[in-house]
Amino acid sequence: MTDPDYTQCAEDHQCLLVVVKPLGSISKGNFSCVFDKISSVEQATLQESHRATWIRYKQYYPPENNDWGDFQAHRRVVGLIAVAESCDSQELSQIFESFDGLRGEYGTSLYNWRMFVFGLTGEVVDQNRTDVDFVSDYEQLGGITRTVEEFTSSLFIVLESKRLDRASEKAGDKMPLLCVPFEKKDFVGLDTDSRNYRKRCQGRMRKHVGDLNLQAGLLHEALVNYHIAVETLRSINDFLWLAAALEGLCVASVVSHYGTTCRTTKARHQGASTQAEKEKRSRAGMQEVLIDPGSLTTNGIGGDPSLEIGRAKNCLSPDDIVEKYREAISFYGKYQQAAVIELEACIKAVRVLAVQKKRSEAADFLQNAIYIHVDVTEDERIQRYSVLSELYEQIGFRRKAAFFKRISAMQCVRAALPEPGWKACYELLLDTLQGYNLSLDNPQSSTESHHGWPAVQLRILHELVYSSQRMGNPALSVHHLTFLLHSMLDFLSEQEKKEVSQILEKYAANCRGHSTALEIREGLQVQPIALSKLPIIRSMKIINLPPNLRPVKLKSGDGLSTPISSSSPFIYSPIVVQQRREQRANQIDFQWVQGDVCEVQLMVYNPMPFELRVENMGLITSGVEFESLPAALSLPAESGLYPVTLVGVPKIPGPVTITGYHTEVFGIPSRCMLQNLSHCKVMCSTVDVVPALPLTQLTTSLPRCSGLIAPSTLGDVCCNVVVRLFNGETQKVSVQLENIGKQPVESIELDVTYSQQQRDSGTCRVTWDTQELQKLIPLQPGSLVDLTLSIHANFDFSNTDGSFTEMQDGEGIVRRNVSFLTLVTLYNPFFIPATWRKGDIVVTQVVRLSVRPSGHQHL
């Protein structure tokens, strides 16, 4: 016997097997429609009784399996339905011929047969074949259901008659010996009158009657018959049939304990098992269904309290079921030719045990099933391991399920195969990921809580990448390789890191990484992986504008320094709202200016042992529009903390929040959001952008000072010029002011800061003409104006202490200075004087002139 049926479950013993075959030129789609319709008739009832029998439908069934129909009644094909499509009468005769041929294949086991022919209309319909139904088109499938119901009822009737025939045989009658195909030659020439032989016949027949009873829905009788058969066969050591009788006993007990709640609609195609079916199997039959006597499908006893007693007497307890199954399978194991039976029995037992939640026993049976040697084709082997894996999944052994799925995936692409099935391999490998604690949706990125066995996970991921590459889907292989690099970065050795990056670059050169959700298979989508570890961001800080470009809030005109945040009507209140220290520390107290280049500093770290090239690194922001200017950088191997400055230009005033950054590494673009990064410290990520302010430049034709440079107290940009004056002299200095920004300058304020000394002695005065100044504004962009400043020197030489220092050169000549150099420091040659009005608050920036004595002396 070939072709183990992996979808069998214990309840199949109750079913009558009907084969549905396509004939002629019918298309696959149409045939499956019709098949679905036919299969919807799952039960057949008799008119008189309340009993029902179950029907199961198959599309492929090898006729040699039919020969085992004596051994186990559910293996025999009792009904044949053919579905054909035809357009003309010539084809029809061919179809009839093939139908008869089919019938011949299944020999005498058929109880009844039917054929549906689609597509023919009126004139050819007058056939005198009663077993053929002509249906004009595919819309009338409802009529088919009725026909099928009648058909199945007829099957049931035949079954009943056979059962009653057999049941009425007495123990003393001569009965034929039922055999399995490989036994036939063993019994040739045996003495048919010996006691042993007769007992054998009786035992086997009893078992067969039990089968028929089970199919007919008479559980009680079935149990009784099986018990008798077991005892008879055990006494003569007829192991094969004894095993079959034990199995029948187990099945009948399972049905009576769990009812038929374990039944699900079988998959249309042999061996396939859908997700929904798996769920149904695991949901249904969770607890033992206590049979309500009134709702039993058995007849003849129904409602009779003796049923309960009968049940208790003959039915096996759940533990006994396991025992008997174990015994049966060990007996099957003695017969090499019964390997398929043994395998199917193991699988059925495991399904029962899964319902009973007996995981270790189920694992035992499965372990046994692995080593049953069945001569199978390559496809079969793949299917076998897949089914094993599914069964392990059913009993909750995820790791074992993943293991066997992987084995079946490897079988798909064995070197010996002419055409390796890479797609199938890929699909199977995808299913194993869950068992290895990998989830494509959710890459783990921290070492502390890494789940799973890293070496095993790496291997599986590599295999996934390879199979997706061979399958011809480069986008998938890029995604999976990125996933590998990201989630297993900490577990790769240096050499592996190099290799994986090189391979990734090579793959990405062909197919760029995706930036939207990628569909791996139907119903499964994955988001692009954000490579947040290449490079690792340790901290992010928003940098203030350079000091000369910072906007400054002007105090409001009346001189009262009102706090910025006060909008209440109270002028003074003793209650001061305390802001928490860290909030204050975290808040940014500067603003950015629209249209100006603003910076954010990141401290990054390169974990790779080679130089990492990062392209297209920029900021992702939310809030107002912010144009981020990407940068490319190259980080040295295993660098320490490396500062990186990312710049951008805010386009619109308002609050800007830095939410993340994007990079392109090895050709893979990735967008990392700061909130997802646990290792990144961010002080504050929101900054206000004020509207554009004008930009001016101050130049002068005065000579620069090459010597002493005044210390700049505020860190401002400054330009030091030198003016030489004689005492009493007034010199006019011309300073050019150019508006190099895009906004007009609305007001200019000049403020001169004297050093302390100068203020006291009043030695130097700088004045300008305010009228002239007022005429200059508004200063349009691009225009250049002149400012004239008058510097007047007035030194009091009569005061000889302190201001002078006597200097002696080598000759001891005391020199006195007659003039002194005045260092005039013009602060902020680039500044932004302007007004920005927001209510009463005016923001501007001022230019400062600072005058200091030089202290130089010369004659």
Partner 1 sequence: MGTFYFAIVGHHDNPVFEMEFASQNKTDTKEDYRHLNQFIAHAALDLVDEQMWTTNNMYLKMVDKFNEWFVSAFVTATLSYLHATHMRFVMLHDVRHEDGIKNFFNDVYELYIKFAMNPFYEPDTLIRSTAFERKAQFLGRKHLTA
Rule CB under 8 A: choose which of 454, 623, 667, 855 binds partner 1.
454
Rule CB under 8 A: choose which of 56, 74, 348, 400 binds partner 1.
400
Q: Does 446 bind partner 1 (CB under 8 A)?
A: no
Q: What is the DSSP letter of 416?
A: T
Alpha carbon dihedral 279, 285, 286, 289, in 10-degree steps, equals 160
Rule CB under 8 A: choose which of 116, 118, 436, 592 binds partner 1.
436
Q: How far is the CB of 332 from partner 1 (least distance, A)?
A: 20
Q: How far is the CB of 450 from partner 1 (least distance, A)?
A: 6
Rule CB under 8 A: choose which of 71, 241, 403, 754 binds partner 1.
403
Structure tokens at 283: 């949901």
Q: Does 701 bind partner 1 (CB under 8 A)?
A: no
Q: Does 405 bind partner 1 (CB under 8 A)?
A: no
Q: How far is the CB of 406 from partner 1 (least distance, A)?
A: 7
Q: How far is the CB of 470 from partner 1 (least distance, A)?
A: 20
Q: How far is the CB of 359 from partner 1 (least distance, A)?
A: 6
Q: Are 457 and 436 in contact (CB under 8 A)?
A: yes
Q: How far is the CB of 396 from partner 1 (least distance, A)?
A: 8
Q: How far is the CB of 223 from partner 1 (least distance, A)?
A: 31
| Edge-to-edge strand ranges of the sheet holding 112-118 | 43-45, 52-58, 15-24, 77-85, 112-118, 132-135
| H or E element, residue 276 | helix 275-283
Q: Does 779 bind partner 1 (CB under 8 A)?
A: no
Q: How far is the CB of 435 from partner 1 (least distance, A)?
A: 9
Structure tokens at 76: 């025999």
Rule CB under 8 A: choose which of 455, 629, 641, 841 binds partner 1.
455
- Residue range at the interface with partner 1 (CB under 8 A); choices 401-409, 671-679, 750-758, 817-825: 401-409
Local structure of 18: helix, strand or coil: strand
Q: For partner 1, how many residues bind (rule: CB under 8 A)?
A: 23
Rule CB under 8 A: choose which of 90, 275, 449, 800 binds partner 1.
449
Q: Does 553 bind partner 1 (CB under 8 A)?
A: no
Rule CB under 8 A: choose which of 166, 198, 326, 450 binds partner 1.
450
Q: Does 437 bind partner 1 (CB under 8 A)?
A: yes
Nearer to partner 1, 389 or 817 (CB): 389
* Alpha-helix runs per DSSP H in 19-124: 28-39, 63-66, 89-106
What single string gives the DSSP state of each residue in 593-643? ETTS-EEEEEEEE--SSS-EEEEEEEEEEEES-EEEE-EEEEEPTT---EE
Q: Are 234 and 200 in contact (CB under 8 A)?
A: no
Q: Are 444 and 487 in contact (CB under 8 A)?
A: yes
Phi, psi of 825 (to 5 degrees): -105, 120
User: Looking at the DSSP assignment, which residues form a beta bridge with residue 79?
Assistant: 18, 112
Nearer to partner 1, 374 or 614 (CB): 374
Q: Are 513 and 478 in contact (CB under 8 A)?
A: yes
Rule CB under 8 A: choose which of 60, 453, 590, 797 binds partner 1.
453
DSSP-based helix, strand, coil % in the chain, nearest 5: 40, 25, 35
Q: How far is the CB of 451 from partner 1 (least distance, A)?
A: 4
Nearer to partner 1, 370 or 517 (CB): 370
User: Looking at the DSSP assignment, which residues form a beta bridge with residue 603?
Assistant: 539, 643
Nearer to partner 1, 271 or 452 (CB): 452
Region of 260 (left: φ > 0; alpha: ψ -120 to 50; beta: rest) is alpha
Round to whole Å and give the CA distance between 796 and 762: 9
Query: Footprint of partner 1 on residues 336-395 (CB under 8 A)?
Result: 359-360, 363, 367, 392
- Residue range at the interface with partner 1 (CB under 8 A); choices 46-54, 224-232, 301-309, 399-407: 399-407
Q: Which residues are at the interface with partner 1 (CB under 8 A)?
A: 359-360, 363, 367, 392, 397-400, 402-403, 406, 436-437, 449-456, 459
